[in-house]
Structure 1
Amino acid sequence: MMQWWLAPLVVLVSLLLTASLRHYALARSLVDVPGPRRSHAVPTPRGGGMAIVVSFLSVIVLLAGAEMLNAPMLFALLGGGGLVAVIGFIDDHRHVPVRWRLAGHFVAAAWGLYWVGGVPPLVMFGTQVSLGWVGAVIALLYLVWLLNLYNFMDGIDGIAGIEAVSVCMGACLIYWIGEGEHLMVFPLALMLAVLGFLYWNFPSAKIFMGDAGSGFLGLVLGLLSLHAGWESSQLFWCWLILLGVFVVDATYTLIRRLLRGVKVYEAHRSHTYQLASRRAGTHLPVTIAVLLINVFWLLPVAACVMLFDIDGVVGLLVAYVPLLALAVAYNAGGDA
């Protein structure tokens, strides 16, 4: 477990770094301007997510130096997460072509996947399944998709930060009830790093996370889910359940847009959360709704999967079906 005095230090470092990055962004005119494909109404500086990156990676290096976590996972997070953050940081300053950005994402995901040990064997409907090289390809696509969907879902005040905090909090609780306390250090450190940033991003954003922060969070959460899978197949399914809001909204929206023949890499406002925020006329209730869904729906389902040894696929379906119904009800991926 993390040394108690590091907890407030991580939050403080993230808080102060975000403030510095805000001044930097304003001085460099790194500002997102409102437009028809954006959900904010006021010009807002971007790039604050680098505070999350620096504070999180710094604390895990300190903990590794104190021999409180293993080297392979440190290399996975430093190399994979660091590369995604650098690509995002450059993209926040000047546009990086999609093909080069995706190439970098695949390299980062492959690096992280190698050090995390590849794909753990998963139990599905009572049978342990080891997919070999096919599983490695699927896992690579999973990581790349997760880091990109996190970027897609970072479109209203506080939503990406609240998602990370509530998912990590839920993972820590699941680890505690599942006797995996030794795994808690990673989600706990990430949660603390995000909390410092959230002061500047919620309830009304004074700075946005930017591609550096959102892509980093997506990849790190994906790597943590695979890392947990080596401890227990149930833990991997719990992570997927906890990430349900972002996974279902982004995936359903992408599929709808693909079927409509729309260029999926172009900015849009047809995600469920974006449509809901427009209907509400403000971001706050939607972000709070994501928090409530995570805490009072997805976390209990994940806890039941862990406590009562419910099949992970069954738990995933139970968790995701209502979220899919919401996406359908809001016509996510349709004309917006």
Structure 2
Amino acid sequence: MKLVLLICFILLLGVISFILTFLIKQFALRKNMFDIPNERSLHDTPTPKGGGVAIVFAWYVGITLLFFTGVVEQGLYSALLCGIMLAVVSLIDDIIGLKPYIRLIVQFITAIAAFYFLNGLRPLIMPGLHLNYNYIIYPIAIVGMVWFINLFNFMDGVDGFASVEVISICSVLFVMSWNMINILLIFCVSGFLYWNWPKAKIFMGDVGSTQLGFILVVLGIYFHNTFEFSILNWIMLTSPFWFDATLTLFRRWYNNEKLSEAHRKHVYQRVVQSGFSHEKVNISLILINMFTIMLIILYREIKILQIPVFALSMLGFYITTRWVDKRVPFNIKKQ
């Protein structure tokens, strides 16, 4: 009976996310709160923004319910609540704009607090390798958390793209852990996705994208610590996003470009510029995620294949990048 009620409540939150996104869209239209096309944009008309508020609202109502019903434990709940500070600052940034260093400071504070409530990161175990050096691993993990929060924001540039990635990741996490928190996030995002599917009628904004990046990285660490899903598997699962964002950042740095300037050089952005529709890019992401999931299942069963399979997937992403380079060039020569 308890499970049935939880499922009904989660479904209700999906509906609330759907309705609230619509109301935010109408409010944004009346108040002229638009995302104006710029050098980074792949859309050519002003579009309402702030839809991520609906996701955030439904999410925090949901995890509070899961906490008080015993589905979510204290440590995870406390870690996730740290994201409220991030959400507030991101919303302010969406409305009036904030200096990058202010956002970065808040992101580090949020990551450090969440990492504390998660009790750090248990040792990383790989074939022939056992990393248990907290003074090395912990700082790297915190920086990684902040980077993932930002890269998820960078990758939110195609209609429905970020939402599809969240749903894909959480579907795998649910199958591996059977934790209802993953279903909750799927429905919170799905309610918004209806309005964000190509052609998008509203964008989630930084308040949504940074929050989703934060939630995913917290869940990744949590399920690693509970031995339900290794952080190495999580890294593999999220590779379509972090590989594109990290390689693009490196190439822009190598090219002596100003990293704070908006751009359209991510692989997924150049795929759209080459002629792919937003919908085709989303379908491609789903197919890539399905292939990545099969690889994860393979090396979960045969541990010795972990490193070779990971290297093979990275090679696949690099080959894809070079294919895109031929369609829409990315000059990496130093100026």
1:54 and 2:57 correspond: yes
Please give the alpha-carbon distance, in whole angstroms, between the structure 2 residues aligned to 1:189 and 1:306.
26
**Aligned match of 1:158 in 153, 157, 160?**
160
Q: Is the 8 A contact 1:110 1:140 kept in 2?
A: yes
Q: Is the 8 A contact 2:255 2:331 kept in 1?
A: no
Q: Which residue does the alignment assign to 2:298?
A: 304
**Aligned match of 1:123 in 119, 122, 125?**
125
Matches within 5 A, 1:61-100: 61-79=64-82, 81-100=83-102
Amino acid at match of 1:187: N
For residue 281 of structure 1, report the CA deviation from its aligned partner: 4.8
Q: Which residue does the alignment assign to 1:9?
A: 12
1:5 is paired with a residue whose SS is: helix
- Taking structure 1 as reference, are residues 104 and 126 closer, same or farther at Cα in structure 2, changes over 3 Å only? same
Question: Which stretch shifts more, 195-204 or 324-333?
Answer: 324-333
Segments of 4+ in structure 1 off by > 6 A?
none
Please give the alpha-carbon distance, in whole angstroms, between the structure 1 residues aligned to 2:302 and 2:228.
14
For residue 69 of structure 1, report the CA deviation from its aligned partner: 1.6
- Cα deviation code 1:141-194 (max 9, x no counterpart): 110000000000000111011111111112222x1xxxx33xx22222111111
- Taking structure 1 as reference, are residues 313 and 134 closer, same or farther at Cα in structure 2, changes over 3 Å only? same
Query: Gaps (5+ residues) in structure 1?
Result: none
1:252 and 2:247 correspond: yes
For residue 40 of structure 1, report the CA deviation from its aligned partner: 0.5
For residue 264 of structure 1, report the CA deviation from its aligned partner: 1.3
Please give the alpha-carbon distance, in whole angstroms, between the structure 2 residues aligned to 1:267 and 1:128.
40
Amino acid at match of 1:25: A
Root mean square deviation of aligned Cα: 1.9
Q: Is the 8 A contact 1:242 1:299 kept in 2?
A: yes
Please give the alpha-carbon distance, in whole angstroms, between the structure 1 residues aligned to 2:305 and 2:224.
14
Please give the alpha-carbon distance, in whole angstroms, between the structure 1 residues aligned to 2:250 and 2:228.
28
1:280 is paired with a residue whose SS is: coil
Q: Is the 8 A contact 1:253 1:333 kept in 2?
A: no
- Taking structure 1 as reference, are residues 250 and 333 closer, same or farther at Cα in structure 2, changes over 3 Å only? farther
| Residue correspondences, number | 327
For residue 78 of structure 1, report the CA deviation from its aligned partner: 1.0
Q: Which residue does the alignment assign to 1:229?
A: 224
Amino acid at match of 2:303: D
- Taking structure 1 as reference, are residues 62 and 284 closer, same or farther at Cα in structure 2, changes over 3 Å only? same
Please give the alpha-carbon distance, in whole angstroms, between the structure 2 residues aligned to 1:313 and 1:281.
33
2:13 is paired with a residue whose SS is: helix
Q: Which residue does the alignment assign to 2:186?
A: 191
Amino acid at match of 2:192: F
1:197 is paired with a residue whose SS is: helix
Q: Is the 8 A contact 1:56 1:193 kept in 2?
A: yes
Q: Which residue does the alignment assign to 1:276?
A: 271
Q: Is the 8 A contact 2:90 2:207 kept in 1?
A: yes
2:147 is paired with a residue whose SS is: helix
Q: Which residue does the alignment assign to 1:289?
A: 284
Q: Output the TM-score relative to the length of structure 1.
A: 0.92
2:7 is paired with a residue whose SS is: coil
- Cα deviation code 1:270-290 (max 9, x no counterpart): 000000011125211111111
Amino acid at match of 1:126: G
- Taking structure 1 as reference, are residues 229 and 314 closer, same or farther at Cα in structure 2, changes over 3 Å only? farther
Amino acid at match of 2:62: V
Amino acid at match of 2:55: I
**Aligned match of 2:330 in 325, 328, 334?**
334
Amino acid at match of 1:52: I
1:330 is paired with a residue whose SS is: helix
For residue 127 of structure 1, report the CA deviation from its aligned partner: 2.8
Q: Is the 8 A contact 1:238 1:305 kept in 2?
A: no
Question: Which stretch shifts more, 306-315 or 25-34?
Answer: 306-315
Please give the alpha-carbon distance, in whole angstroms, between the structure 2 residues aligned to 1:333 and 1:138.
32
Amino acid at match of 1:299: I
Q: Which residue does the alignment assign to 1:211?
A: 206
